[in-house]
Amino acid sequence: MITRILDVAHSVAAYRMPAGPHRNLSAARQAVASGLDVEPTAELLYSDWLGIEHADGNRQGLHTAISRVQQLNQALDCSLEMETRQLINELLNSPTPEARKAL
């Protein structure tokens, strides 16, 4: 049951994140939050959260999500998945969508 909830949360976030007619970052955030309520260690949902905050140009939210996933992994005494580390580096080193528009 938990796996299915996480799959649905990830699917909703992935569907609502890209630019276009279905974009709704609030709905994507809510899906991720609901999934993390069920399984607070789901690193895939943290990756979704990172992407949502970046897509929204919310640098503070991005840093909050990064801190949260790092604290979680520290508490579990494990390291972040390589994909998550790469995503964090990519998002921190790329301009937000709003900054790109200003260029």
pLDDT at 97 over 80: no
Report the domain count for the chain.
1
Half-sphere exposure (Cβ direction) of 54: Cα atoms closer than 13 Å: 19
**pLDDT tens-digit readout, 18-74:** 999 999 999 999 999 999 999 999 999 999 999 999 999 999 999 999 999 999 999
pLDDT at 99 over 60: no
Q: CB–CB of 35/6 below 8 Å?
A: yes
Residue that the structure tokens 């969508």 belong to: 97
Angle subtended by helix axes 59-75 and 82-92, to nearest 10: 160
**pLDDT tens-digit readout, 29-41:** 999 999 999 999 9
Model confidence, pTM:
0.90
What is the span of the domain harbouring residue 87?
A: 2-98
Total Cβ atoms within 10 A of residue 89? 10
Q: Write the CATH number for 23.
A: 1.25.40
